[in-house]
Amino acid sequence: MLELDKLTVRSRQRVLVDEVSLSVGAGEWLALVGESGSGKSLLSQSIGGLLPAGIEASGSIRWNDQELMQLPARQLRQLRGKEIAYIFQDYQGAFTPFRTIAQHMNEYQSVHGEKDRQQRRQRNEQALESAGLSTKLLHRYPFQLSGGQLQRAAIALTLLLSPRLLIADEATTALDSVSGHRILELLRQKQQETGCAILFITHDWRHVRRYADRIAVMKEGKLVESGNRHRVLDHPRHPYTQQLIAAAPMLERSEPMLRSGLAPLERLEGQKS
């Protein structure tokens, strides 16, 4: 579905991502792992043409045999959101404070060609319900939602048009462990329902062990190791991967503790409100 071939990202001073080649298959969950500054986010931003000013990419990014590096900006904007969607760590940045959740969702659909109001309203309601939220929140403003509710609203917005590739860049870093677990369960549910692929950028090896099909490890802009989850976690080959796994919390013990600490969603939201 997605194939990167010798993708290089550079600023005027230095190379930030150095000839990385990897692929993401349909329905696959690929975890991209590495310490801060390893180039993970820049790689993901390159896919959708979202690199900051002064940063340039070269190489090849193919999406279903379509070369994105040569795609005009207008066509790339249409592709972004409809077929390739992002969930960022700063989920609050997805919303304008003085616009309701419904207004955000209506604009998102309208930009991508859905003009029928009835269809937009039905999609809005279905998206919120699938994210475990009440449709009453459509008429609220972002500051009227709790942090967990707003994160799920951001995911509902991202999934509104059923994208084929979902890029989640440290999407749970700002959340507590229980809320983060619920968000990832929601993503896995949507993946199973729609068959979308997920490029999951994280530094949390617990999430990698639980959800990933394959793992790619980056260090200082280079891809140093990749393979299926069990091979990389149980038999890491590169010294850097071995170092990262050795420094992670004890994975086998963390998941039962997390599951035992789960509370009903309604109770959690009531506590936050």
Query: Structure tokens of 210?
Result: 């639980």
Check whether domain 1-83+164-237 has CATH 3.40.50.300, yes or no? yes
Stated pTM of the model: 0.84
- Sheet bearing 66-67, strands edge to edge: 15-24, 2-10, 56-63, 66-67
Is residue 87 within 8 A of residue 38, CB to CB? The reply is: no
Pairing of strands 15-24, 165-169: unpaired
Name beta bridge partners: 217.
33, 225
Largest CA distance in the chain: 56
Which one-letter DSSP state was computed for residue 29?
Answer: E
Each residue's pLDDT tens digit in the chain (273 positions)?
999 999 999 999 999 999 999 999 999 999 999 988 899 999 999 999 999 999 999 999 999 989 999 898 888 888 888 899 998 877 777 789 999 999 999 998 888 877 788 889 999 998 898 888 899 999 999 999 988 788 889 888 888 888 999 999 887 776 677 777 877 888 898 898 888 999 999 988 888 999 999 999 999 999 999 999 999 999 999 999 999 998 886 554 444 434 433 333 333 344 443
Domain ranges for the chain, please list them: 1-83+164-237, 96-162
Q: Which residue, 37, 39, 57, is CA-closest to 47?
A: 57
d(CA 16, CA 245): 24
